[in-house]
A and B are shown apart, each in its own frame.
Chain A
Amino acid sequence: MSRIDLDLAHSYRPNPSQDSDYALLPLKMSFEDGGAYALLGPSGCGKTTMLNIMSGLLVPSHGSVCFDGRDVTRATPQERNIAQVFQFPVIYDTMTVAENLAFPLKNRKVPADQIRQRVGQIAEMLDMSHQLDMRAAGLSADQKQKISLGRGLVRPDVSAVLFDEPLTVIDPHLKWQLRRKLKQIHHELKLTLIYVTHDQVEALTFADQVVVMTRGKVVQLGAPDALFERPAHTFVGHFIGSPGMNLLEVEAQNGSLRIGDRVLPVPRPLPEGPLRLGIRPEYLRLVPLSEQGCLPGTVTRVQDIGTYFLVTVDAAGQSLKARLSNETAIPGMGSLVGLQILGDHTCFYQNEELVA
């Protein structure tokens, strides 16, 4: 187990000159020993590149990787003593399930009785004890992926276990089960786990700390509630949450806030100039038009999501979504309502970054 420090950039092209040449823009970050992390972002944002750099499958084009302060930039995965589970199941066709699980230990010359014991434990953990003597080749995709997971977890002394979207091929009901299992394993073994995913639910339920990435850039590292309450970047606001944060074009001027043709008082000190106001649909309140400091709007859509209603309101030429509980009065289509957009949960962004 170790603390991982990254201070690097990576480009798959030989001479990167602009930002878009980089798969990973220059970044500096640390993964604490024993933490459960998630790398979250859309496809092609650099999550897997970052993971492969940590595991040693890829050498970064610039900068360094340190494990516990030791520079391992050019060390092989074996020297780093790292485990990694891939998106699609990788199994050794000619081996049985038990041989598959034992393979990483056997290659490291672990004594046979220890291997047997450890394989037994892992199989127990993954509910595969009854399948140990079967050929791995004929199993279903999710069984195979369980073997891959098991191979990742079978070594007790690894620096970290890296997961590259490991549950993509798994059935939804099993997904929950395995994710809980991983969380449980994390608590029991105190391994450093780093989990790549593009599924926010997966990231937020699994990790203590989530790294949100987009276009090769880390835009926020924080606990799940911080990502929700105070997104550091408009991308985080938009990407996390279902639906994402409402973002409104506003302008701060001489202590007042101009939204379209409305002028509202500034709730707290703001930098002057064009800003974006962010408010989560969960915090956007519909109020009577008569209320002070509200923004008038027209309801254009009402969706019943089952446990809540999603109301779309057009205000100041922009469209906002509000999430309303079943108990509140739901306005009809086309009715005029007031929107309370200023509150403790409102965030302000300048050049996509959080400023207030």
Chain B
Amino acid sequence: MSATTKPVNQKAWFLILPVFICVAFSAILPLMTVVNYSVQDIISPERRVFVGTEWFAAVMRDEDLHAALWNQMKFSLAVLVVEIPLGIALALAMPAQGWKASATLVIVALSLLIPWNVVGTIWQIFGRADIGLMGHSLERLGIEYSYTGDATQAWLTVLLMDVWHWTPLVALLAYAGLRSIPDAYYQAARIDGASKLAVFRYIQLPKMRGVLMIAVLLRFMDSFMIYTEPFVLTGGGPGNATTFLSQYLTQKAVGQFDLGPAAAFSLIYFLIILLFCFVLYNWMQSLGQAEKEGAGHA
């Protein structure tokens, strides 16, 4: 037991007051507004009725919402499955040093600098059968392609667009991870006669775990909130083939002005993202922990 006791100083609370005020205005108050909407039926600015959990129940039963959620899940999963391995492959192929490395970095990062709505417009034109490079080329190859007519093709085009836009982020993160591996590891691997595959499996991949975790989280969150690009490209269609959660939410809130259900749904949306990130983060952390603990029982 320690003989000294901590001095009690309640003034310390004042020191966190600025942060508390900032967070209150930037996060807590807006969130509470949403909570406020979600439990009321606002008929007009003067007339509103407390409805309890009614909106939540209604939203949970909404078939369109289920479709959007399912669409979203498939899309986010596809984004991760394609972008993470592709990003790693890209990072492995990038030159390690010299002017080529700088040049490659700039070129790879280029797509990250383009605003979302411009990305949508670029692909809108790129995919057109009459003037777009991709659309026209596909047509000349005899493939009937239309992102406005065919649901599967629309979905794939949105995915392709996201891959084009965001794989460089994964590549840059993986590249940073790769560059931080000391040379001695590669030298030792050469001495030990390790194949390229073994070097990847036993050196590069384990050493990239940290940055890949960040890449997975970022790409999951971003793709789960995707809005602008499909909105510009397909407007959510054909039908609702490319209507993802955020767009569905916007339709509800802004299009139909159903503030109550939209607020209830926002909260559910928020919790879903929180839950996924929590699970993903803990899973990847425990992967790292297992390695350390396995050795801990000396």
Contact = CB atoms under 8 A, between A and B. Distances in A.
Contact of B191 (A84, A88, A93): A84
Given A78-B193, A86-B184, A151-B192, A139 B202 contact: no
B202 A95 contact: yes
Interface string A79-92: 00011101110101
Interface string A117-136: 00000000000000100111
A114 interface: no
The secondary-structure label for the interface of chain A is mixed
A209 interface: no
B74 to A, nearest CB: 31
Interface in B177-229: 182, 184-185, 187-188, 190-195, 198, 202-203, 206-207
B293 interface: yes
A96 B291 CA distance: 9
A103 interface: yes
Contacts, number: 78
Most chain B CB within a 10 A radius of its CB, from A92, A108, A135, A138: A92
A104 B198 CA distance: 11
A148 B188 contact: yes
Contacts of A57: 187, 190-191
B198 A93 contact: no
Interface residues on A, range: 20 to 34
B295 A136 contact: yes
A137 B198 contact: no
Contacts of B191: 55, 57, 77, 82-84, 104, 152
A147 to B, nearest CB: 11
B192 A103 contact: yes
B45 interface: no
B142 interface: no
Contacts of B182: 88
A94 B206 contact: yes
Contact of A107 (B184, B195, B292): B195
B193 A134 contact: no
Interface in B138-164: none
B207 A93 contact: yes
Given A78-B193, A94-B206, A135 B292 contact: yes
Contacts of A84: 187-188, 191
A82 B190 CA distance: 10
B194 A137 contact: no
Interface in A228-273: none
A76 interface: yes
Nearest to A83: B191
Nearest to B205: A94
A320 B193 CA distance: 53
A131 B298 contact: yes
Contacts of A135: 291-295
Contacts of A83: 191
Interface of B: 182, 184-185, 187-188, 190-195, 198, 202-203, 206-207, 291-298
Given A90-B185, A104-B192, 6 more contacts: A88-B182, A92-B202, A104-B191, A107-B195, A131-B298, A151-B188
27 contacts: A57-B191, A77-B190, A77-B191, A77-B193, A78-B190, A84-B188, A86-B187, A87-B184, A90-B185, A93-B206, A94-B202, A94-B206, A95-B202, A96-B294, A103-B202, A107-B193, A107-B194, A131-B298, A134-B295, A134-B298, A137-B292, A138-B291, A138-B292, A138-B293, A139-B298, A148-B188, A151-B192
